[in-house]
């Protein structure tokens, strides 16, 4: 194939020199495309391959003739220096109903029914592994996820559509409102729809539905535009070139400016990407952290779905890298929100990194619970586990969720000063975590968890000790609870921060008429102390509660024996120690609203909510100063009448240049004013038949009559 292109190039070059044409790279590229299309049609009678006439979707127009079709599968995009814009994220798939994206004519292994296939998690196309090289040759790229830095061209603040051919498509056409499904469409080989992998809008593959102006128009990013990080915000930093001239051009700065510049340079030093957001009160950009190890295969499935709905570079796999680098990169994004997909331990990990980075303001964290337990997720109304709820609905819930505070508590551990070192028993000298969000407990429940943790088999008979004399001391806000604990013979003590415990039980219960205690809250700066006997522990599972001991701000514990303990589910056997519990801070969390949030239909014309529209009237300064005290007179002085648009006014004033600019920008040619006149009628009334004819021609230009023609996309 390369030799064919080389011969075509030489032929065209000689032809241009013979007829004295000026040879440019653009003319060569255009000729190569046209001649290649001709060659394909003559040799194999093929249709133009998908994506071949969509060079504007690709960051460059360079052909890739050689490539290794062996790809190392990865789950997410990285924000590293070797990131490539528009690359596909291939995942192995066994989908049998989807044909190869190249089509039956261009597919390299169309006769091999068991050929390996791969599916792009970002744009959802399916190709054979052997066809990936051919896909690169026609230069069909995935949707761009960032923009290159160092370009001198003006920054584009809008995102273009990324149109993809579909042989199967759900929903309805945005243009005509009709469905896409056809009879016997399961194995359909025809391209029935063209959809955008950003906004999810879909059109029939007909010129009456998908028009040429759709190719270049800006993309709204769809129903979830408020939480999507646009690729125009993410900039790949151009490698700095050290040169003597550059260093000599440095100007002297004041000490303040020099320090500020140095500080900014140090922040971005060595980072391949920077984020330059555009602040908007309507935006709530979302970072998604997924722990694939939680919930079996659920984590991997959720990860892929978020890659489809969002910018892949705002979705992170915690099994590949921690959350610190991503949070550091996005730290200056206003109205940032975080979604932690995993267990309560995943949430605690992210909160600890937020503490370390000291982001101000701290972004609120929502929870998508995976696996079992998930007491914090239950407290924040996210439920006890993921039940295949549509990701689109989850995104709406995170966007609409209420920001609440969550108390977080410090655990300070020291060796028991009352015991000499030789009397210390076996056990660890520190707890697994020094901060807890849910609970801290010691006794029987920690023993069972520790047994499972160490041997995967709990032996309750091995733990029959109560908190006897000389074994335990508990003080809460200066109140000694030790006698009461010994009297009631508790086998488990829990210091509870949230209402839920042990996979959804509520051990504090509802105090009701008990005036000594208040209802439990996760944002009041108090921690609840609860004691359990074996009977009350068993009663938890049927709605019972433990013995309410205290609500306090500080706790001091002294242990004289090695006791099993657990911090947010992480168990250990702690040697005799002195433990202090104190309030650390409050974290911002996203609480799911209890009201039902409807899930948007992504390719339904009515699914994307309209922005708030406010009619703005233009008035002169003299009129405003004269009538600002009287709203009615002020309204009458407005230059725009009811129903009149800027195009009506420009046509009335016979301003052809303004009319052309407005029409090119998408101004409506059919809208009528209060008298039922279109812009064309206003131009005719103003005595400008040429302008009226121009407006009529542009109106007819947008209506294409042939219904059966396929678009050239």
CATH label of the domain that carries residue 696: 1.25.40.20
Question: Structural domain tally of the chain?
Answer: 3
Look at residue 448 and give its three-state secondary structure.
helix
Do residues 436 and 483 share a domain? yes
What are the beta bridge partners of residue 580?
A: 412, 556
Q: Are 549 and 408 in contact (CB under 8 A)?
A: no
Do residues 707 and 565 share a domain? no
Q: Give 135's pLDDT tier (boundaries 50, 70, 90).
A: confident
Asked if the structure places residue 368 within a domain, the reply is yes
Asked if the structure places residue 352 within a domain, the reply is yes
**What is the side-by-side order of every strand in the sheet holding 193-196?**
163-166, 193-196, 202-204
Asked if the structure places residue 503 within a domain, the reply is yes
Q: Give 107's pLDDT tier (boundaries 50, 70, 90).
A: confident
Do residues 598 and 699 share a domain? no
Nearest-Å Rg of the Cα atoms of the chain is: 33
Do residues 603 and 704 share a domain? no
What are the beta bridge partners of residue 119?
A: 91, 126
Asked if the structure places residue 157 within a domain, the reply is no
Q: Give 354's pLDDT tier (boundaries 50, 70, 90).
A: very high
Do residues 357 and 273 share a domain? yes
Task: Assign 3-class secondary structure to 589-630.
Answer: EEECCCCCCCCCCCCCCCCCCCCCCCCCCCCCHHHHHHHCCC
Asked if the structure places residue 163 within a domain, the reply is no
Examine the pLDDT at 29 and tell me if it is beyond 60: no
Do residues 524 and 463 share a domain? yes
Asked if the structure places residue 303 within a domain, the reply is yes
Q: Give 227's pLDDT tier (boundaries 50, 70, 90).
A: very high
How far is it, in rounded angstroms, from Cα 465 to Cα 711? 79
* Count of C-beta atoms within a 10 Å radius of residue 627: 16
Do residues 361 and 474 share a domain? no
Do residues 527 and 600 share a domain? no
**Predicted confidence (pLDDT) per residue in 428-457, tens digit:** 889 999 999 999 999 888 888 888 766 544
**526, 525, 530, 559: which is closest to 546 by C-alpha?**
530
Do residues 539 and 439 share a domain? yes
**452, 558, 546, 423: which is closest to 496 by C-alpha?**
546
Do residues 540 and 435 share a domain? yes
Q: What is the pLDDT of residue 330?
A: 95
Do residues 271 and 389 share a domain? yes
Asked if the structure places residue 286 within a domain, the reply is yes
Look at residue 75 and give its three-state secondary structure.
coil
Q: What domain range is 671 assigned to? A: 644-713
Which of 524, 557, 588 terminates a domain? The answer is: 588
**Predicted confidence (pLDDT) per residue in 623-646, tens digit:** 777 777 777 777 776 655 556 788
Look at residue 256 and give its three-state secondary structure.
helix
**Predicted confidence (pLDDT) per residue in 251-308, tens digit:** 444 444 444 445 444 555 667 889 999 888 889 999 999 998 887 778 888 999 999 9
Tokens matching residue 592:
């799911």
Q: Give 31's pLDDT tier (boundaries 50, 70, 90).
A: very low
Torsion sign (Cα): 51, 55, 59, 65: positive
CATH code: domain of residue 461: 2.60.200
Look at residue 692 and give its three-state secondary structure.
helix
- Stated as kind and residue range, the H or E segment containing 288 is strand 286-290
pTM of the model: 0.71
**473, 444, 446: which is closest to 535 by C-alpha?**
444
Q: What is the pLDDT of residue 332?
A: 92
Q: Are 318 and 289 in contact (CB under 8 A)?
A: yes
Examine the pLDDT at 34 and tell me if it is beyond 90: no
Q: Are 208 and 175 in contact (CB under 8 A)?
A: yes
User: For 416-546, where are the E strands, in sequence order?
Assistant: 435-436, 439-443, 472-476, 479-480, 492-496, 527-532
Asked if the structure places residue 581 within a domain, the reply is yes
Look at residue 426 and give its three-state secondary structure.
coil
Q: Give 488's pLDDT tier (boundaries 50, 70, 90).
A: confident
Do residues 607 and 700 share a domain? no
């Amino acid at each position: 194939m390369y030799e064919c292109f080389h011969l075509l190039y030489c032929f065209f070059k000689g032809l241009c020199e013979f007829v004295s044409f000026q040879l440019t790279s653009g003319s060569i590229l255009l000729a190569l495309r046209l001649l290649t299309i001709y060659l394909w049609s003559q040799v194999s009678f093929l249709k133009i391959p998908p994506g071949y006439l969509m060079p504007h979707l690709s960051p460059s127009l360079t052909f890739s003739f050689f490539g290794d079709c062996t790809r190392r599968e990865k789950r997410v995009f990285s924000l590293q220096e070797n990131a490539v814009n528009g690359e596909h994220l291939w995942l192995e798939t066994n989908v049998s109903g989807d044909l190869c994206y190249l089509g039956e004519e261009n597919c390299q292994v169309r006769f091999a029914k068991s050929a390996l296939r791969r599916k792009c998690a970002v744009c959802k196309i399916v190709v054979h592994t052997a066809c990936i090289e051919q896909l690169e040759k026609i230069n069909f790229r995935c949707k761009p996820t960032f923009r290159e830095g160092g370009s001198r061209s003006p920054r584009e603040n809008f995102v273009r559509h990324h149109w993809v051919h579909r042989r199967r498509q759900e929903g309805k056409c945005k243009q005509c409102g009709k469905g896409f499904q056809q009879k016997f469409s399961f194995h359909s080989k025809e391209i029935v729809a063209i959809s955008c992998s950003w906004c999810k809008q879909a059109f029939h593959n007909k010129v009456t539905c998908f028009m040429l102006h759709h190719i270049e128009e800006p993309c709204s990013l769809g129903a979830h535009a408020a939480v999507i990080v646009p690729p125009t915000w993410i900039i790949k930093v151009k490698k700095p070139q050290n040169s003597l001239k550059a260093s000599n051009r440095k100007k002297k700065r004041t000490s303040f400016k020099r320090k500020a510049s140095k500080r900014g340079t140090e922040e971005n030093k060595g980072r391949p990407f920077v984020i330059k957001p555009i602040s908007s009160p309507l935006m709530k950009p979302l970072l998604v952290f997924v722990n694939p190890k939680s919930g079996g295969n659920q984590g991997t499935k959720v990860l892929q779905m978020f890659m489809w709905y969002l910018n892949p570079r705002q979705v992170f796999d915690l099994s590949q890298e921690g959350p610190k680098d991503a949070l550091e990169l996005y730290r200056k994004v206003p109205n940032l929100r975080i979604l932690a997909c995993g267990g309560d331990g995943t949430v605690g990990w992210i909160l600890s990194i937020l503490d370390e980075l000291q982001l101000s303001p701290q972004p609120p964290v929502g929870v998508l619970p995976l696996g079992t337990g998930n007491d914090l997720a239950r407290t924040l109304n996210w439920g006890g586990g993921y039940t295949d709820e549509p990701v689109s609905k989850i995104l709406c819930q995170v966007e609409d969720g209420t920001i609440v505070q969550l108390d977080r508590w410090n655990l300070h551990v020291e060796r028991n000063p009352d015991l000499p070192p030789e009397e210390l028993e076996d056990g660890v000298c520190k707890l697994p975590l020094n901060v807890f969000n849910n609970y801290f407990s010691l006794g029987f429940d920690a023993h069972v968890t520790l047994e499972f943790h160490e041997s995967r088999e709990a032996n309750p008979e091995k733990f029959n000790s109560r908190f006897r004399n000389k074994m335990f001391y508990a003080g809460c806000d200066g109140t000694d609870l030790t006698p009461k604990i010994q009297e009631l013979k508790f086998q488990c003590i829990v210091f509870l921060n949230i209402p839920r415990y042990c996979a959804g039980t509520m051990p504090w219960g509802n105090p009701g008429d008990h005036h000594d205690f208040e209802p439990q809250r996760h944002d009041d700066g108090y921690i609840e102390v609860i004691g359990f006997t074996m009977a009350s522990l068993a009663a938890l599972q049927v709605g019972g509660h433990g013995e309410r001991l205290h609500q306090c701000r500080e706790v001091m514990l002294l242990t004289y024996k090695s006791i099993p303990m657990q911090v947010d589910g992480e168990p250990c056997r702690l040697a005799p120690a002195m433990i202090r519990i104190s309030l650390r801070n409050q974290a911002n969390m996203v609480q799911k609203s209890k009201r039902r949030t409807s899930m948007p239909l992504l390719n339904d014309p009515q699914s994307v909510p309209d922005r708030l529209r406010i009619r703005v009237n233009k008035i002169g300064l003299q009129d405003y100063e004269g009538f600002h005290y009287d709203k009615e007179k002020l309204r009458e002085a407005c230059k725009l009448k009811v129903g009149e648009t800027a195009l009506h006014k420009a046509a009335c004033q016979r301003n052809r240049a303004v009319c052309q600019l407005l029409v090119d920008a998408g101004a409506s040619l059919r809208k009528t004013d209060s008298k039922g006149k279109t812009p064309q009628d206003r131009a005719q009334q103003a005595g400008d038949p040429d302008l009226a004819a121009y407006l009529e021609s542009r109106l007819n230009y947008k209506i294409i009559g042939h219904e059966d023609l396929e678009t050239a996309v």
